[in-house]
Chains A and B, each alone.
Chain A
Amino acid sequence: MTAYLAKRLAIGLATLLVASLVVFSVLEILPGDPARIMLGLNASPEALEALRSQMGLDRPVVLRYLDWLAGMATGDFGRSYTYSSPVIELVAERVSVSLPLALMALALSTAIAIPVGIFAAARRGRLSDTIAMGIAQVGVAIPNFWFAMLLVYIFAVGLRLVPAGGFPGWGEDWGGVWQGFKALLLPAVALALPQAAILSRVTRSAMLEVMGEDYIRTARAKGLPRRAVLWRHALRNALIPVLTILGLQFAFLLAGTIIIENVFYLPGLGRLIFQAISQRDLIVVEGVVMLLVASIIVINLLVDICYAIADPRLRTGR
Chain B
Amino acid sequence: MKTFATMLGAAAVLLASGSAALCARTDLVVGVVLEPPHLDPTAGAAAAIDEIVYANVFEGLTRIGPNGEVEPALAESWEVSDDGLTYNFKLREGVTFHDGTTFEAEDVKFSLDRARAEDSTNAQKVLFSAIENVEAVDPTTVRVTLKHPQGAFPYNMGWGDAVIVAPESADANKEKPVGTGPFKFDNWAKGASVTISKYADYWGKPVALEKAEFRFIPDAAAAVPALLSGDVQAFTNLQAGDALPQIEADPRFEVVIGATEGETILATNNGKAPFDNLKVRQAIAHALNRDEIILGASSGNGVPIGSHFSPANAAYIDLTDTYPHDVEKAKALLAEAGHPDGFSATLKLPPPPYARQGGEIVASQLREIGIELEIIPVEWAQWLEQVFTNKDYDLSIVSHTEPNDINIYARDDYYFNYNNPAFDAVMEELDATTDPDKRKELFGTAQRIIAEDAVNGFLFQMPKTGVWDAKLEGMWENAPIQANDLTKVRWTD
Contact = CB atoms under 8 A, between A and B. Distances in A.
Q: A and B, one complex?
A: yes
Interface of A: 30-33, 36-44, 46-47, 50-51, 54, 82-85, 90, 93-94, 97, 149, 152-154, 156-160, 163-169, 262-268, 271-272, 275, 278-281
Contact of A42 (B11, B120, B123, B193): B123
Contact of B44 (A38, A41, A159, A164): A38
A63 B221 CA distance: 44
Nearest to A85: B175
Of residues B124, B193, B229, B388, which shows the largest number of chain A Cβ atoms within 10 Å of its Cβ? B229
Contacts of A265: 192, 215-219, 222, 226
Contact of A84 (B8, B175, B217, B381): B175
A83 to B, nearest CB: 6
Contact of B221 (A43, A50, A149): A149
Interface in B114-148: 118-126
B120 A50 contact: yes
27 contacts: A31-B382, A32-B380, A39-B123, A40-B44, A42-B408, A47-B120, A47-B121, A47-B122, A51-B121, A83-B38, A83-B190, A149-B221, A152-B225, A153-B7, A153-B225, A158-B10, A164-B226, A165-B226, A166-B193, A166-B217, A167-B192, A168-B192, A265-B215, A265-B218, A275-B191, A278-B380, A281-B37
B381 A32 contact: yes
Contacts of A275: 35, 191
Interface of B: 4, 7-8, 10-11, 14, 35, 37-38, 44-46, 118-126, 174-175, 189-193, 215-219, 221-222, 225-226, 228-231, 379-382, 384-386, 388-389, 400, 402, 405, 408
Given A84-B175, A166-B217, 15 more contacts: A31-B381, A32-B385, A39-B44, A39-B45, A39-B121, A41-B388, A50-B121, A159-B10, A165-B217, A165-B231, A262-B222, A265-B216, A265-B222, A268-B191, A279-B37
Contacts of B123: 39-40, 42-43, 47
A32 B382 contact: yes
A167 B189 CA distance: 9
A157 B219 contact: no
A160 B230 CA distance: 9
A43 B219 CA distance: 29
Contacts of B388: 41
Given A42-B402, A152-B225, A82 B45 contact: no
A53 to B, nearest CB: 9
B126 A42 contact: yes
A42 B229 contact: no
Contacts of A97: 191
A263 B222 contact: yes
A264 B231 CA distance: 12
Contacts of B11: 157-158, 160
A40 B226 contact: no
Contacts of A42: 45, 123-124, 126, 402, 405, 408
A179 to B, nearest CB: 13
Q: Which of B46, B123, B175 has the most CB of A within 10 A?
A: B123
A297 B108 CA distance: 54
Given A36-B384, A278-B380, A46 B222 contact: no
Nearest to B415: A41
Contacts of A166: 192-193, 215, 217, 226, 231
A164 B380 contact: no
A73 B233 CA distance: 46
Contact of B380 (A37, A168, A264, A272): A37
A164 B232 CA distance: 9
A31 B231 contact: no
B4 A153 contact: yes
Contacts of A280: 381
A7 to B, nearest CB: 39
A46 to B, nearest CB: 7
A293 B120 CA distance: 38
B379 A32 contact: yes
Nearest to A271: B191
A165 B225 contact: yes
A274 B419 CA distance: 39
Nearest to A264: B222
A299 to B, nearest CB: 24
Given A32-B382, A165-B222, A157 B190 contact: no
Nearest to A48: B121
A54 B174 CA distance: 15
B229 A156 contact: yes
Most buried by A among B35, B46, B124, B191: B191
Nearest to B40: A84
B421 to A, nearest CB: 22
A84 B191 contact: no
Contacts of A167: 189, 192
A136 to B, nearest CB: 23
B224 to A, nearest CB: 9
A83 B49 CA distance: 12
Which 8 pairs of residues, A with B, have the shortest CB-CB distance?
A40-B45, A267-B191, A32-B381, A82-B37, A158-B7, A164-B229, A262-B219, A267-B192
A41 B45 contact: yes
Given A157-B228, A160-B14, A44 B125 contact: yes
B481 to A, nearest CB: 14
Contact of B229 (A32, A43, A163, A263): A163
A217 B157 CA distance: 87
Nearest to A269: B191
Contacts of A164: 222, 225-226, 228-229, 231
Nearest to A35: B121
Nearest to B119: A50
A265 B33 CA distance: 10
A264 B10 CA distance: 21
A166 B122 CA distance: 32
Given A31-B382, A39-B121, A275-B35, A263 B221 contact: yes
Nearest to A97: B191
Contacts of A36: 384-385, 389
A226 to B, nearest CB: 43
B374 to A, nearest CB: 19
A267 B125 CA distance: 33
A93 B191 contact: yes
A82 B38 contact: yes
Contacts of A281: 37
A18 B38 CA distance: 33
A156 B10 CA distance: 11
